[in-house]
């Protein structure tokens, strides 16, 4: 299951993301039962615990650039839909700008904590959401 963007996804994101203003990213997260580090290190961490190490670091990086976790919570009950609840957690992350997002994800500090993200995640959907505009389902018709 993917946990990193494909080149065509990055290209589409670069075309559609606003040049200025905030970015809102919806994260749907599924954790590994046990963390699995690419370097083969032994660990007793669960996937959730490994991802939490990543999350602590990202929260600090976000705060330093003026971003924030706008919402985060555990998925609880599938109210509409069929099958099993596919996600463990959901988060909405707000970055102050596309440039800030790129600087953070390209930084050495981010690279240092990214190993915990990879070790903890089994699968992720990361969805860039428009902050406002005519595509919002809650906008009144004109």
3-state secondary structure 55-85: HHHHHHHHHHHCCEEEEEEECCCCCCCCCCC
What confidence tens digit (pLDDT) does each residue in 61-88 have? 999 999 999 999 999 998 898 888 899 9
Cα(30)–Cα(125) distance, integer angstroms: 9
For residue 105, the model assigns a pLDDT of 92
What confidence tens digit (pLDDT) does each residue in 17-46 have? 887 889 999 999 999 999 999 999 999 999
For residue 135, the model assigns a pLDDT of 54
What confidence tens digit (pLDDT) does each residue in 4-17 have? 778 888 888 888 78
Is 62:68 a contact under the CB 8 Å cutoff?
A: yes
Mutual angle of helices 108-120 and 47-65, in 10-degree steps: 150
Cα(77)–Cα(121) distance, integer angstroms: 20
What architecture is domain 18-76+86-129? 2-Layer Sandwich (3.30)
Phi/psi for 136 (5° steps) reads -70, 130
């Amino acid at each position: 299951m993917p946990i990193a963007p494909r080149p065509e996804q990055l290209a589409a994101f670069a075309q559609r993301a606003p040049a200025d203003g905030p970015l809102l990213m919806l994260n749907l997260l599924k954790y590994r039962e046990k963390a699995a580090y690419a370097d083969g290190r032994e660990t007793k961490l669960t996937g959730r615990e490994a991802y939490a190490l990543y999350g602590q670091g990202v929260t600090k990086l976000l705060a330093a650039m003026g971003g924030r976790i706008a919402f985060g919570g555990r998925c609880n009950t599938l109210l509409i839909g069929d099958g099993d609840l596919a996600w463990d957690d959901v988060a909405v992350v707000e970055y102050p700008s596309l440039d800030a997002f790129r600087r953070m994800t390209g930084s050495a500090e981010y690279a240092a904590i990214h190993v915990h993200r990879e070790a903890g995640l089994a699968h992720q959907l990361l969805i860039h959401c428009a902050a406002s505009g005519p595509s919002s389902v809650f906008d009144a018709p004109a």
